[in-house]
A and B are shown apart, each in its own frame.
Chain A
Amino acid sequence: MSNNIVENLRKEIEAFKADVQTEKVGHVMEVFDGIAKVSGLSDIKSSEMVTFPSGVMGVALNLEEDAVGVIILGDFSKVKEGDEVKATGKILEIPVSDSILGRAVNAMGAPIDGKGAIKAGKTYPIEKVAPGVVTRQSVDQPVATGIKAIDAIIPVGRGQRELIIGDRQTGKTAIAIDAILNQKGQNMICVYVSIGQKDSKLRKLQARLEDGGAMTYTVIVSAGASEAAAMSYIAPYAGVSIAEYFMDQGKDVLIIYDDLSKHAVAYREISLLLRRPPGREAYPGDVFYLHSRLLERACRRNVKYGGGSITAFPIIETQAGDISAYIPTNVISITDGQIFLETDLFYKGIRPAVNVGSSVSRVGSSAQIKAMKKVAGTLKLDLAQFRELEAFSQFGSDLDESTKKQLERGKRSVEVLKQLQYAPVKTEHQVVTFYALTKGFMDDVPVAKIKEFESGLIEYTERHAKVFYKDIADTKMWTDKGEEQFKKAIAEFKSSFK
């Protein structure tokens, strides 16, 4: 046994080659709040990794005339004035491998879930130029989020960037989590990037994903609220690098940035410490580029270039519903649409509190399946008209028959779109519900009983309209035969429903 150890050690030492090369070094001139000013390092590149004697890593961000501004990725209390800093010649990169699935890692790709080391296969640079025009393909495959209001009215396609925006406590993260939970069996890998969130919130979220069996296809990248701003700054880039690793294998990836407001705040902190000139709301001039270069990396690649996609759900927290603030307007203009959540709707009990009027999906409709397009095509318009009529009808009591009908239908639509948290609905079930709603089968069901009717209808039709379900599963659209059977099943169910 001991002979074996000695033999192994001998082999290891024999395999070791100590190449002596000249290295570029610098010396720490000053250290403050996670930033080091370093002299020397004459040939350093922007975003190049540097190492400090304590083993702490840093990234060169400011290349000045006679000093280099380095952000310290780790415990900056270990970095002292006069320390020798070595350039590595590499742009900041993180280890990636298939075994990262199901794990929680920090912004440097190191595990934080206490489940041991992650076997690293490769390293990926965290900053990469987004795929070019020739490598891309337009969005035409849906991402089923399992949330009726989104899948029907604001559909999202694979490779799309859809912003989730709203005030605090309006259910932004809940939408993202539901979307992850619904990806089970959908051939999708999920990356959840937590930026500046409380560790307790992250723990709860991880437990929720584990309970839902979603951690097997999910990676959590976390830069907690207690970590340095530099970690929050690099976390989304680390997350998208992990996503790119899977996309390069031709897989579809869903990435959630929770949230980019905190990311912008972390970048503002770093920029001000590096003495970059502040602009609007004290953000630096390149805050737009900060997010645009990140979100441009979400794409759908054509088969010639390996296929795969990255769908991004960035989250932005607004203050008192102000979507015209600097960061919200920036990210709205970068993304392919937004899901706008409203506090008023949330407290009215309309959850998810999606404001259908202000929400939009610019490219997703081409990714929607035919059956869903057919049943939910006019839903957005109907709901908008309902909101207008609802406000108008409060002034007058004498309403004509068609207005009354529209109001009644609207009330039922709102009811149908309500959904409990962590209860994603399958696409075919959504089609069934919206079919019944838009074809008027729910018009005589009392509003209070809509939920009961919906669940009962799904259960009944699953047993008695199998052709309809099979059509949707196979061809994404029903056939005449399937529709006939389905209509019959609805009529039967309605006669038994009280």
Chain B
Amino acid sequence: MTKISPKNAAEAIYRATKGKLGNDLGLALKRSVQVLQNKRMIGKSGEVLSALQEIIDRKEGIVRMKATTAQRIENIERKKLENEVKEKYKAQSVISEFFEKPELLGGIRVEVGDEVLDATYKNKLRKLEKFLIREI
């Protein structure tokens, strides 16, 4: 029997529920849960849900961004950053989360999907350390 991956299941749920509303949507979701139960995939519901989220984001042009800085950044800078990301990924909208981590010392780390732009001082120092102890 072919193995069904959480991604496959999420894709199926997305197609089954697409464009449905009210009772139809409720019925489609109920059936989806039943299929997951029949296929013994309830334990993997977390993975299915995150895969479903990814599919919906992709179809609707939503980009999720995580930005981490050493100190809080102002709203105006946040907006600027969101616009940059929106432009780079050609997204319809950006859902952003901002975190503060003093150990980064300075700079910013931006994560979008599996891409990371690490421009923190901590990362620069790590690279400098590597550069100074390299074998010549």
Is B132 part of the binding interface, using a Cβ–Cβ cutoff of 8 Å?
A: yes
* Cβ-defined contact, A65 with B7, below 8 A: yes
* Cβ-defined contact, A24 with B114, below 8 A: yes
Is A129 part of the binding interface, using a Cβ–Cβ cutoff of 8 Å?
A: no
Take A65-B7, A66-B7, A66-B51 as given contacts and tell me if A25 and B131 are in contact as well, using a CB distance cutoff of 8 Å: no
Contacting B at CB under 8 A, from A14-48, are 16, 18, 20-26, 40-42
Is B43 part of the binding interface, using a Cβ–Cβ cutoff of 8 Å?
A: no
Is A491 part of the binding interface, using a Cβ–Cβ cutoff of 8 Å?
A: no
* Cβ-defined contact, B114 with A40, below 8 A: yes
CB-CB nearest in chain A for B6: A66
**Chain B positions within 8 Å of A26 at CB level:** 114
Contact bitstring B97-136, A, C-beta under 8 A = 1, else 0: 0000000000000010111111100001001100110010
CB-CB nearest in chain A for B47: A66
**Chain A positions within 8 Å of B124 at CB level:** 18
CB-CB nearest in chain A for B51: A66
Q: From residue A441, how far is it (CB to closest CB) to chain B in Å?
A: 60
9 A-B pairs with C-beta separation under 8 A: A9-B132, A16-B127, A18-B127, A20-B119, A23-B117, A24-B114, A40-B114, A65-B7, A66-B7
Take A18-B127, A18-B128, A66-B7 as given contacts and tell me if A23 and B115 are in contact as well, using a CB distance cutoff of 8 Å: yes
Take A66-B51, A117-B135 as given contacts and tell me if A25 and B114 are in contact as well, using a CB distance cutoff of 8 Å: yes
Contacting B at CB under 8 A, from A31-90, are 40-42, 65-66
Bound-state Cα–Cα, A149 to B6, Å: 62
**Chain A positions within 8 Å of B114 at CB level:** 24-26, 40-42
Tally chain B residues at the interface, Cβ within 8 Å: 18
Bound-state Cα–Cα, A313 to B117, Å: 48
Bound-state Cα–Cα, A7 to B60, Å: 56
Is A119 part of the binding interface, using a Cβ–Cβ cutoff of 8 Å?
A: yes
Q: From residue A325, how far is it (CB to closest CB) to chain B in Å?
A: 32
* Cβ-defined contact, A22 with B115, below 8 A: yes
Is B5 part of the binding interface, using a Cβ–Cβ cutoff of 8 Å?
A: yes
B5, B116, B131: which contacts A23 (Cβ < 8 A)?
B116
Take A22-B115, A25-B114 as given contacts and tell me if A120 and B128 are in contact as well, using a CB distance cutoff of 8 Å: no
Take A66-B6, A120-B135 as given contacts and tell me if A13 and B115 are in contact as well, using a CB distance cutoff of 8 Å: no
Q: B residues engaging A (CB < 8 A)?
A: 5-7, 51, 111, 113-119, 124, 127-128, 131-132, 135
**Chain B positions within 8 Å of A24 at CB level:** 114-116
**Chain B positions within 8 Å of A65 at CB level:** 5, 7
Is A12 part of the binding interface, using a Cβ–Cβ cutoff of 8 Å?
A: yes
**Chain B positions within 8 Å of A119 at CB level:** 135
**Interchain residue pairs A-B with the least CB separation, the first 8:** A40-B114, A20-B119, A18-B124, A22-B117, A25-B116, A16-B131, A22-B115, A66-B7
Bound-state Cα–Cα, A119 to B134, Å: 11
Bound-state Cα–Cα, A41 to B114, Å: 6
B7, B117, B118, B128: which contacts A13 (Cβ < 8 A)?
B128
CB-CB nearest in chain B for A39: B114
Bound-state Cα–Cα, A119 to B136, Å: 7
Bound-state Cα–Cα, A26 to B6, Å: 18
CB-CB nearest in chain A for B7: A66
Contact bitstring A321-341, B, C-beta under 8 A = 1, else 0: 000000000000000000000
15 more A-B contacts (CB under 8 A) besides A18-B124, A24-B116, A40-B114? A12-B132, A13-B132, A18-B127, A18-B128, A20-B117, A22-B115, A23-B117, A25-B111, A25-B116, A42-B114, A65-B7, A66-B5, A66-B6, A66-B7, A117-B135
CB-CB nearest in chain A for B131: A16
* Cβ-defined contact, A42 with B113, below 8 A: yes
Bound-state Cα–Cα, A23 to B110, Å: 11
**Chain B positions within 8 Å of A42 at CB level:** 113-114
B115, B118, B135: which contacts A20 (Cβ < 8 A)?
B118
Q: From residue B112, how far is it (CB to closest CB) to chain A in Å?
A: 9
Q: From residue A178, how far is it (CB to closest CB) to chain B in Å?
A: 36
**Chain A positions within 8 Å of B6 at CB level:** 66
**Chain B positions within 8 Å of A20 at CB level:** 117-119
**Chain A positions within 8 Å of B132 at CB level:** 9, 12-13, 16
Q: From residue A67, how far is it (CB to closest CB) to chain B in Å?
A: 9
**Chain A positions within 8 Å of B131 at CB level:** 12, 16
CB-CB nearest in chain B for A20: B119
**Chain B positions within 8 Å of A13 at CB level:** 128, 132
Q: From residue A122, how far is it (CB to closest CB) to chain B in Å?
A: 13
A9, A23, A40: which contacts B118 (Cβ < 8 A)?
A23
Contacting B at CB under 8 A, from A83-131, are 117, 119-120
Bound-state Cα–Cα, A120 to B135, Å: 8
Q: From residue A95, how far is it (CB to closest CB) to chain B in Å?
A: 9
Q: From residue A82, how far is it (CB to closest CB) to chain B in Å?
A: 14
CB-CB nearest in chain B for A23: B116
Q: From residue B133, how far is it (CB to closest CB) to chain A in Å?
A: 10
Take A65-B7, A66-B7 as given contacts and tell me if A25 and B115 are in contact as well, using a CB distance cutoff of 8 Å: yes
**Chain B positions within 8 Å of A22 at CB level:** 115-117
Bound-state Cα–Cα, A117 to B5, Å: 47
CB-CB nearest in chain A for B108: A20
Bound-state Cα–Cα, A18 to B132, Å: 12
Q: From residue A301, how far is it (CB to closest CB) to chain B in Å?
A: 31
